[in-house]
Amino acid sequence: MSLDPSTLQRLIRLLGMLGSAHDGEVANAGRLADRLIRQHGVTWAQVVLPVLVKPAPPVDDLTRPAG
């Protein structure tokens, strides 16, 4: 499973919104995150399990061009 850097950035922002004090914002962020990964043909297990196997790159690395 691999999500492109811009999709990962969007997912990170959505998951960060889960800590909001506003219940509606939390629910909406969760729904949008779920929709995002499903639109890319992956499951939550495919998103989370690679983190358990190897550490994810720092967020800054996601915005740098590969090369």
pLDDT at 18 over 60: yes
Q: Where are the alpha helices (DSSP H) in 1-67?
A: 5-16, 23-39, 44-53, 59-63
Amino acid 19 reads: G
The ranges assigned to domains in the chain are: 5-55
Q: Kindly report the pTM of this predicted structure.
A: 0.70
Q: What is the mean pLDDT of the chain?
A: 84
Residue 12: predicted pLDDT: 94
What does the pLDDT average to over 15-37?
A: 96
Terminal Cα-to-Cα distance of the chain (whole angstroms): 20
